[in-house]
Structure 1
Amino acid sequence: MFDPVLVTGFLALFVAVGGIFLAVNLVVGWLVRPRMPNTEKLEVYECGEPTIGSSFVQFDLRFYVVALLFIIFDVEVALFFPWATVFGKATQLADPVVSSVEADGVTLTPAVAGVYRELGVANPAVPAIAPPKQFRFAAEATAVAESSGEVRQLESEWAVAESGRMLARTAVIDMAIFYAVLLIGFAYVWYRGDLDWVRAVANQRASGLTNAGRSS
């Protein structure tokens, strides 16, 4: 696990460097920019459309619907980034090409141990996942030197890869559920007609009058 004090120090250093960089640019711009005030530049708006008429303009409410949809889906897309990070590290663990265990069959390699720490495991170790019997027989048959150490290394590497595959499957299922809930809400709003650019208000009023006539 990362030291909270160290992480806080990095964050404070990042904020300080960003603030200093911004302040230096503002000061340099204030010192070197030309100063040529005139009547046009001293007006309320230096650029853009001229200020004609009232500033209180009522926008069409349909634009608010589009803006809200953009904000909602923009936030949802931002939630994909931490999931993608976990999924990527899980696929790294499941990669059979990566050497994950040392020759003793017990100690993880520094790279794989670092991946586990990035996933939040404080003390990384070989997962306690027993391989199936067919894998054990295959490992014993393909071992160059028929020693218990080499077979144990193969079994430990299989356990690490299996833990990565399990985590990747869990991540895919989790994201599928999340995306399904999002699409269900989107489909419901679409079914209600809230996404229509021009809503048939007259039809709604007519149906309301018809229902009122039936009830009376």
Structure 2
Amino acid sequence: MEALGSSLSIVAYLALFCSVGLIFVFANLLIGYLVRPSDPHAEKEEIYECGEPTIGSSYVQFDLRFYVVALLFIIFDVEVAFFFPWATVFGKADHLSDQRFAVVAADTSVLTPQAIGLYKEFGVREPALPESVPPTLAKPFNQKYGKGAASAATLTPEQAADVCKLGGRQLMLVTLVDILVFFAVLMVGFAYVWKRGDLNWVRAVTDARSQGAVRTLAPEEVTEQDPVLTA
């Protein structure tokens, strides 16, 4: 029931956030429609491009490189959003592995409220002290407490706290490897589009130069019928 209540509260917050955003947008549009002056004329309907007068018709197809560069920007820009979950997990794991962070309450065998809260942020519903050493942590645990210590039947509060900190350090390493793989895939994709020439702004000229043949039009070959759009 507690997990269900938490999920419902998250959905309620999201619904409230979206509702406020939509109301804000439509309220501004409505207020602008009611209070702004209405003075349509031919000059307002002219094409505006960075304050410069346009030459030629605007009903021409833009160079596809505009769209290619825009799509590449969106793709690589959206990838930044994937850093936030990683940074959150890495930061919390670093906090857990910090030697100054109290995992076990003094003279007890229970987790501190801070440690319980941290484990719940990791997604652990009922945090508790570990009763044994996980196999993946046996080697560093034995290095600290001696050979065979990881196979002991019970753990002291100090040993249980060390298991928690070793687990946090292991999680840090896993997240670090994860982000390195992410960066590697991202750089491979970037190198691929670079190799294809998608980032060359004047791609046609670049391809022609690579073939050793660039032809420029003489002034008399340019006609006024050619659509031109300048900014």
Q: What one-letter code is carried by the residue in structure 2 that aligns with 1:90? A: A
Q: What one-letter code is carried by the residue in structure 2 that aligns with 1:121? A: V
Residue 53 of structure 1 deviates from its aligned partner by 4.3
What residue in structure 2 maps to residue 9 of structure 1? 12
Residue 64 of structure 1 deviates from its aligned partner by 2.9
Q: What one-letter code is carried by the residue in structure 1 that aligns with 2:65? A: R
What residue in structure 2 maps to residue 177 of structure 1? 181
Q: What one-letter code is carried by the residue in structure 1 that aligns with 2:13? A: F
Residue 3 of structure 1 deviates from its aligned partner by 2.1
Task: Compare 68-77 and 184-193 and name the one that shifted more.
Answer: 184-193
What residue in structure 2 maps to residue 200 of structure 1? 207
1:24-60 Cα deviation digits (max 9, x unpaired): 44455555x353536368x435966668743223323
Residue 154, structure 1, aligned to residue 161, structure 2? no
| Unaligned stretches of 5+ residues in structure 1 | 138-150, 207-216
1:67-92 Cα deviation digits (max 9, x unpaired): 22211211212211111111111111
What residue in structure 2 maps to residue 82 of structure 1? 85
Q: What is the rounded CA distance, in whole Å, between the counterparts of 2:196 and 2:98 in structure 1?
A: 46
Residue 70, structure 1, aligned to residue 73, structure 2? yes
Residue 132, structure 1, aligned to residue 136, structure 2? no
Task: Compare 163-172 and 194-203 and name the one that shifted more.
Answer: 194-203
Whether the 8 Å contact between 1:103 and 1:153 is mirrored in structure 2 is no
Q: Which has the higher contact order (CA 8 A, sep 6+)?
A: 2
What residue in structure 2 maps to residue 58 of structure 1? 61
What residue in structure 2 maps to residue 101 of structure 1? 104
Report the CA distance shift for 1:162/1:20 in structure 2 as closer, same or farther (over 3 A): same
Whether the 8 Å contact between 1:45 and 1:51 is mirrored in structure 2 is no
Whether the 8 Å contact between 2:97 and 2:166 is mirrored in structure 1 is yes
Whether the 8 Å contact between 1:40 and 1:46 is mirrored in structure 2 is no
Whether the 8 Å contact between 1:105 and 1:156 is mirrored in structure 2 is no
Q: What is the rounded CA distance, in whole Å, between the counterparts of 1:181 and 1:23 in structure 2?
A: 41
Residue 188 of structure 1 deviates from its aligned partner by 3.0
Report the CA distance shift for 1:25/1:191 in structure 2 as closer, same or farther (over 3 A): closer
Residue 5 of structure 1 deviates from its aligned partner by 1.4
Q: What is the rounded CA distance, in whole Å, between the counterparts of 2:81 and 2:64 in structure 1?
A: 26
One of 39, 42, 45 as aligned partner of 2:41 = 39
1:137-176 Cα deviation digits (max 9, x unpaired): 7xxxxxxxxxxxxx82321221111111111100000111
One of 70, 88, 91 as aligned partner of 2:94 = 91
TM-score (norm 2): 0.67
Q: What is the rounded CA distance, in whole Å, between the counterparts of 1:34 and 1:194 in structure 2?
A: 43
Task: Compare 188-197 and 4-13 and name the one that shifted more.
Answer: 188-197
Q: What one-letter code is carried by the residue in structure 1 that aligns with 2:166? A: E
Report the CA distance shift for 1:171/1:116 in structure 2 as closer, same or farther (over 3 A): same
1:187-211 Cα deviation digits (max 9, x unpaired): 23333444333432464599xxxxx
What residue in structure 2 maps to residue 144 of structure 1? none
Query: % of aligned pairs identical?
Result: 48
Q: What is the rounded CA distance, in whole Å, between the counterparts of 1:58 and 1:192 in structure 2?
A: 23
Q: What is the rounded CA distance, in whole Å, between the counterparts of 2:143 and 2:88 in structure 1?
A: 33
Q: What is the rounded CA distance, in whole Å, between the counterparts of 2:27 and 2:71 in structure 1?
A: 37
How many residues are paired up? 191
What residue in structure 2 maps to residue 209 of structure 1? none
